[in-house]
Chains A and B, each alone.
Chain A
Amino acid sequence: MIIHANVLITILSYILAIISAIIVGLFLRMPILPERPMRYSFTISIVFPTSVLAIGFTAILFKLGHNGLLVAVVVGVLTAIFAKYFLESLLPKPQTEESS
């Protein structure tokens, strides 16, 4: 299978976006994994949702035309900052519903 250089750079950009989001997340002292059982926790951690948002925002920018490794790294950094400070106010944790 011939892998063109363009595809390699794209894959590398996504990996760089995740890595930069992880590094900035560790620097900002976000938890790495949510608390157990993981599937019920609303905590914002590095693995989820910061990494998912990082590659998602990178994909949006790639489709809008801004390609390249630098774009991916910048997006990773900005996503980690956004997840730490703004995500909680944008999407608040739901209060437990009162039973009828």
Chain B
Amino acid sequence: MNEIIAIIIAAVLSWINFVLIDTWMGLPEQPGVKGAEVIGRSVKRRGGDLAGGFFQGNIVCSPDASAGTLLASAACYTIGTPEGGLIAAILVYFGNRLCADPGYAGTTGALSITCIIFAASYIGIGPADFIVGMVLAIVTIQGLYHPFSSRLLGKIAKKMGRHTKLT
């Protein structure tokens, strides 16, 4: 498969994987730690959505499904599918507990992307494409224009019933 198309497909799959799992696990609902609240309120001050801001702050301050996706792809690339993803799931769990997070989002993200990588290997997309795809996906959320991406995350959170009740 053409390399660019593979990276784009991997980026879309990684984006869907981590946004859905993180939203379902309640990242937009409340800041997990104080640092996430600081970042969330700063995004709101600059014209964004508060729930989306909490989502972005939680990504920065604790390993979540985005970290799980990236590290599971890296582990699948170097160690092999699916053992790499399972090993990454344990290490992400330990990292989560070190950051005062229960650990559900990170491990779920790692395990689900391992299944996706295993399935995608049958159509010619390798784990290395998922590493680059995940970095591209996180740049669209954290690195482009925060008010727009936080409003998009807020709309998704509202649809899944996870929008924040704080103001």
Contact = CB atoms under 8 A, between A and B. Distances in A.
A49 B107 contact: yes
B98 interface: yes
A70 interface: no
B87 A56 contact: yes
Interface residues of A, number: 22
Contact of B87 (A39, A42, A60, A94): A60
B114 to A, nearest CB: 10
The binding surface of chain A is classed by DSSP as helix
Contacts of A53: 90, 93
Contacts of A57: 90
A55 interface: yes
The binding surface of chain B is classed by DSSP as helix
A60 B85 CA distance: 11
Interface in A12-68: 37-42, 48-49, 52-53, 55-60, 62-63
B104 A48 contact: yes
A4 to B, nearest CB: 15
Nearest to B94: A91
A91 B102 CA distance: 11
B23 to A, nearest CB: 11
B104 A63 contact: no
A52 to B, nearest CB: 5
5 contacts: A39-B102, A48-B104, A59-B83, A91-B98, A97-B34
